[in-house]
Amino acid sequence: MKYLITGKNGQLAKAFARRFEAGSIEYLAPDESRCDITSAATIGELVASYRPGIIINCAAYNLVDPAEQEREKAFAVNAEGPRILAEAASRQGAHLVHFGSDYVFDGTKENGLYREVDPENPLNEYGRSKGAGEKAVREVLGSRSLVLRLSWVFGEGKQNFIAKLLDWSRGQEFLKVACDEFSVPTWTATVVDV
Q: Annotated catalytic residue: which of 27, 50, 103, 126?
A: 126
61 is catalytic: no
Q: What is d(CA 88, CA 184) in angstroms, rounded to the nearest whole number?
A: 32
What is the distance between the alpha carbons of residues 18 and 151, in angstroms, rounded to a whole number? 21
Cβ contact 58:12 at 8 Å? yes
Sequence letter at residue 53: G
Contact call for residues 101 and 149 (beta carbons, < 8 A): yes
In 10 A of CB 194, how many CB atoms? 9
* Pair 159, 62: CB distance under 8 Å: yes
DSSP 7-64: -TTSHHHHHHHHHHHHTT--EE---TTT--TT-HHHHHHHHHHH--SEEEE------T
Q: Which residues are catalytic?
A: 126
